[in-house]
Amino acid sequence: MKGLNYQELLKKYDLKATPQRVIFLNELEKNGHLSIEELEEKIKKIIPSVSTATIYKNINAMVEKGLLSEVKLPNSKNRYEITKDSHAHFICEKCSKVEDLYIDDECLKNNIDKNIVINDIDIVIKGICEECSKKEL
């Protein structure tokens, strides 16, 4: 997972590579899916002087350019991830952990009877993760 070149990634999306942004992306890559609050907390541990406004401005700029994707989950604040191939999300209803799930959604398309053009499918699976299942026993 390590090894994204943030300088290049930012340049590719027409954004200047500031230290704040590099740390921003690094935290996001390390942690997967973070809320604004979590992201801010993590970034401030590294550069305590970053302002909240900068966090917001960067999230908005990166989402707008397409570098980040907003992940909307039930009973949870919006989270953000570095944009990657279309994939589903799993959220554990016990520990709130979020995981990427690469599952084939072609089969869904077959049983839609409406005459629509499908561009993308967002899937969120709610359930209990392996660790939490074990704890329940």
Site residues, DNA (CB under 7 A): 7, 10-11, 15-21, 36-37, 47, 49-54, 56-61
Of residues 87, 9, 19, the one with CA closest to residue 47: 19
Sites for its own copies among residues 11-70 (CB under 8 A):
70
Pick one of 4, 128, 135, 137: the residue that binds its own copies (CB under 8 A).
Answer: 128
Return the DSSP state at 111. Answer: T
The C-alpha angle 84, 86, 90, rounded to 5 degrees, equals: 100
- Cβ proximity to DNA: between 53 and 107 the closer is 53
Please say which residue, 47 or 108, places its beta carbon nearer to DNA.
47
Q: Is residue 91 a contact partner of residue 97, using CB atoms and an 8 Å limit? A: yes
Could you tell which of its own copies, DNA, none binds residue 96, using a CB distance below 5 to 8 A set by kind? none
CB burial of residue 136 (10 Å; 0-12, 13-18, 19+): exposed
Give yes or no for residue 120 binding its own copies (CB under 8 A): yes
95 binds its own copies (CB under 8 A): no
Give CA–CA dist 116/98, Å, rounded.
Answer: 30
Bridge partner residues of 82 (DSSP): 68
Q: How many positions of this chain bind its own copies (CB under 8 A)?
A: 35
Binding site for its own copies (CB under 8 A): 70, 72-74, 88, 90, 92-93, 99, 101, 103-105, 107-108, 111-112, 114-130, 133
